[in-house]
Amino acid sequence: KAGVTQTPRYLIKTRGQQVTLSCSPISGHRSVSWYQQTPGQGLQFLFEYFSETQRNKGNFPGRFSGRQFSNSRSEMNVSTLELGDSALYLCASSQGRLNTEAFFGQGTRLTVV
């Protein structure tokens, strides 16, 4: 059974650009959550999607957005990149919203220069 796949693994962008990150959940999983991990702030919740609908949202500016497709794959987009957006972006998938286990991908490391 394939795990959670995030692409790309590494990305370098310049300030002001936009970026789209992709997450393919485990087959059969319908819930995808996104997190930003930085050394200073730890793991911060961005948003959760279930059955193509955003169910929860963290405290991030509107530059951060996401969506989920009918095959449960999810993308997150960050527009007008800032240096502070440099981080490891992790996604997690689970079968349902209240299931016991969420599986994480390896993450996409975004560097903004």
By rule CB under 8 A, what string of x and - marks binding of each residue 16-55 to another protein?
-----------------x-x-----xxxxx--x-------
The two structure tokens encoding residue 107: 């993450």
Site for another protein in 48-107 (CB under 8 A): 48, 56, 58-59, 90, 92, 98, 100-107
Distance CA 29, CA 87 (A): 25
- Min. distance of Cβ 32 from another protein in angstroms? 11
Which residue, 4 or 19, has its beta carbon nearer to another protein?
4
Which residue, 44 or 95, has its beta carbon nearer to another protein?
44
Do 47 and 33 contact (CB within 8 A), yes or no? yes
Q: What contacts 40, CB < 8 A, 6 or more positions away?
A: none
Do 102 and 32 contact (CB within 8 A), yes or no? no
Distance CA 33, CA 90 (A): 8
Find the angle CA(50)-CA(51)-CA(53) to the nearest 5 degrees: 65
Which residue, 33 or 85, has its beta carbon nearer to another protein?
33
- Min. distance of Cβ 58 from another protein in angstroms? 8
Residues engaged in binding another protein (CB under 8 A): 4, 33, 35, 41-45, 48, 56, 58-59, 90, 92, 98, 100-107
